[in-house]
Amino acid sequence: MDEIDDEPCPVCREKKLILTEREEDIPYFGRVYLFSMTCASCKFHKADVECIDEKDPVKYTIDVSGEEDMKIRVVRSSQATIRIPHITTVEPGIASQGFITNVEGIINRVKGQLEGIKQDDDDPDAYSKARNLLKKLNRVVWGQERMRLIIEDPSGNSAIISDRAKVERFRKQSPSA
C-alpha cells in the first residue's frame, strides 16, 4: 500500500490530507486499485475503485430474496448508477464514492438516506414515503420480501459477484427528443 501524508486538503487547505492507493485481487472480478483521500482536519473523504484491466461498460442485475443474499459482494465505482426499482436510484456525481461492500451494505446506505428524509418534519408526504420504504427494506433484509438491485457502469469498474447476477453490456439510453 502506498500512502502519502500531509498533502493540502481540497476543502480546508490544511496540509492534513492522507492519500492512499493499494492493489487488491477480488475473486471472480480481478485486480483493482483502491484509492482514497482523507483529511485529518476537516474529515473530508473521497474513495474510488478502478480496474487494472480496461473493461467494457457493464450492467449487473440480481434479484435479492433472502438473508444469504445480504452477503453477496458488490463493487461500485464512482461512475456507476445503483438502481433499486420502486425504492431509489443513486446517480453518480462529483461527490460519488467508489466502494466494495455487500448487498446489505448497499441497503444500509439507502436506509441512511431515507432516515435523513424521515427526519424532515416539513413534508409529511416525504416522511410517510420514507417510512414505508424503510419498512420494505427491512422486510428484504429479513427475507420476507424481494427486491432487484441493478448497477450500471459506463467504466466497467463495478460488479455484483454472484453466479445469479445477470451481466450484460451497458448501453446508456439517450434522452427522448
Q: Which of 13, 38, 53 is the last residue of a domain?
A: 53
Looking at residue 89, which CATH number applies to its domain? 2.60.120.1040
Asked whether residue 95 carries a pLDDT value surpassing 80, the answer given is: no
Asked whether residue 115 carries a pLDDT value surpassing 80, the answer given is: yes
SS3 101: strand
Asked whether residue 49 carries a pLDDT value surpassing 80, the answer given is: yes
Asked whether residue 168 carries a pLDDT value surpassing 80, the answer given is: yes
Q: Are residues 109 and 65 in the same domain?
A: yes
State the Cα angle at 100 between 66 and 150, rounded to 5°: 55
Q: Is position 80 within any domain?
A: yes
- Domain with 140 in it: 55-172
Q: Is position 149 within any domain?
A: yes
What's the total number of domains in the chain? 2
Q: Are residues 19 and 96 in the same domain?
A: no
Q: Are residues 117 and 74 in the same domain?
A: yes
Q: Are residues 39 and 3 in the same domain?
A: yes
How buried is residue 170: exposed, middle or buried, by Cβ count under 10 Å (0-12/13-18/19+)?
Answer: buried
| Helix, strand and coil in the chain, % to nearest 5 | 20, 40, 40
Confidence bin at 177 (pLDDT 50/70/90): very low
**How far is residue 61's CA from residue 25's CA, in Å, rounded to a whole number?**
22
Q: Are residues 68 and 151 in the same domain?
A: yes
Q: Are residues 8 and 92 in the same domain?
A: no
Q: Is position 177 within any domain?
A: no
